[in-house]
Amino acid sequence: MLLECGMPSAPGSVCPAVELTNVVKAYREGESERVVLREVDLRVAPGEIVVLLGRSGSGKSTVLNLISGIDRATSGAIRVEGVDVAALSETERTLFRRRRIGFIFQFFNLIPTLTVEENLRLPLELNGIDGATGRARALEALSTVGLADRAASFPDRLSGGEQQRVAVARALVHAPALVLADEPTGNLDAESARQVLDLLADLARRAGRTVIAASHSEEVAALADRVLILADGRLMGRALP
């Protein structure tokens, strides 16, 4: 059973890593309003891997952006690790995201003018971890994804699968409690996608990270503890095979 943060604990109870309550997100389009999310409720336990399935434009990325504080809900409550994200200022949301969340993108989002090692050291430096400690953390993260020998390479010298493995390492290097993945294999061939998914699931489970991934891929859904379908602005559960 999941209890609200701050409530008296009970044996076996745990505070949600992520909680959305009656979340609505609407956008103005000229004179009309387009509702993307309709009274969405979601509770994710610490260490759980949840996959949101849905076709393009269904609002999957919107859910991730709201959880991370990149975007703000029209109404409803969003809590991450017990923190009311909507109550934070823009600066506070940026700092919270930087410290507590790792993000994996479909198109890698590596900085092309930085080496692979420098791409991993950047989130550490933003969190005050630099110098020899930052370099050691970055190289250790690269080793975990099998790319220790590519530290001095620039991203454009790596294959798509290698770049996404670097992106996984970057998302995990600062030890975030929560990892958000937006179509993490959408730009990869089938074999590279399988390798990246196996790696992400293994690293997340070993470290006890909470993962929420948005995808339209059944291969991504296969790594989940729980699969939810997003359609017509609403989340619906789906039984695992």
Can you give the three-state secondary structure of the chain, one letter per residue? CECCCCCCCCCCCECCCEEEEEEEEEEEECCEEEEEEEEEEEEECCCCEEEEECCCCCCHHHHHHHHHCCCCCCEEEEEECCEEHHHCCHHHHHHHHHHHEEEECCCCCCCCCCCHHHHHHHHHHHCCCCHHHHHHHHHHHHHHCCCHHHCCCCHHHCCHHHHHHHHHHHHHCCCCCEEEEECCCCCCCHHHHHHHHHHHHHHHHHHCCEEEEEECCHHHHCCCCEEEEEECCEEEEECCC
Q: Are 167 and 105 in contact (CB under 8 A)?
A: yes
Task: Give the position of tokens 């999941």.
Answer: 2
Residue 226 domain-assigned (yes or no)? yes
Residue 164 domain-assigned (yes or no)? yes
Residue 136 domain-assigned (yes or no)? yes
Domain count, the chain: 1
pLDDT in tens, 137-168: 999 999 999 999 999 999 999 999 999 999 99
pLDDT in tens, 22-77: 999 998 887 888 899 999 999 999 999 999 998 888 899 999 999 999 999 999 99
Residue 122 domain-assigned (yes or no)? yes
Residue 33 domain-assigned (yes or no)? no
Residue 220 domain-assigned (yes or no)? yes
Which CATH number fits the domain that encloses residue 113? 3.40.50.300
Residue 25 domain-assigned (yes or no)? no
Using a cut of 0.85, tell me whether the model's pTM lies above it: yes
Residue 79 domain-assigned (yes or no)? no
**Domain region containing 193:** 48-69+89-238
